Structure 1
Amino acid sequence: MSMVKPSGDARPQWVRSSHSNGAGGECVECAVTDIGALVRDSKDSGGPVISIGSAAWLTFVDAVRQDTEG
């Protein structure tokens, strides 16, 4: 995992967490890329972005799904 500053060249398609309630709480957005995923604070879209490799992202998503389904 690494911290990156968003580039003006690439325009990832950001998706807000389905658990965001719009009331100003802690929310994240993510964007899937060719090499993994990007994650940022939805309240600071110009701020830092965490870049997560494909394997780590898939492991995270699988763990979240198992937790919500189980």
Structure 2
Amino acid sequence: MAKVNIALDAELVVEVMVLAGINNPQDAVEAIVRDYIARGHRTEARTAGRDEPVRTGEIVPPEPQQG
């Protein structure tokens, strides 16, 4: 996998290290980014299951009622 070097604010990195409980700054930031991506995939999987029939046209959503 390709590596990318970026510069981050030291206070931000220390906060990430404390929250993650990891002593290595690079490992801490990587863990947070991986968790963020995994959480996004889990959210997509949950919402896709509910929206799939509407998206594919299998179920037509009801018309909004005026009242």
State the TM-score, normalized to the length of structure 1.
0.31
- Please identify the structure whose Cα radius of gyration is greater: 2
State the TM-score, normalized to the length of structure 2.
0.32
Bigger helix share? 2
Bigger strand share? 1
Higher relative contact order (CA 8 A, sep 6+): 1
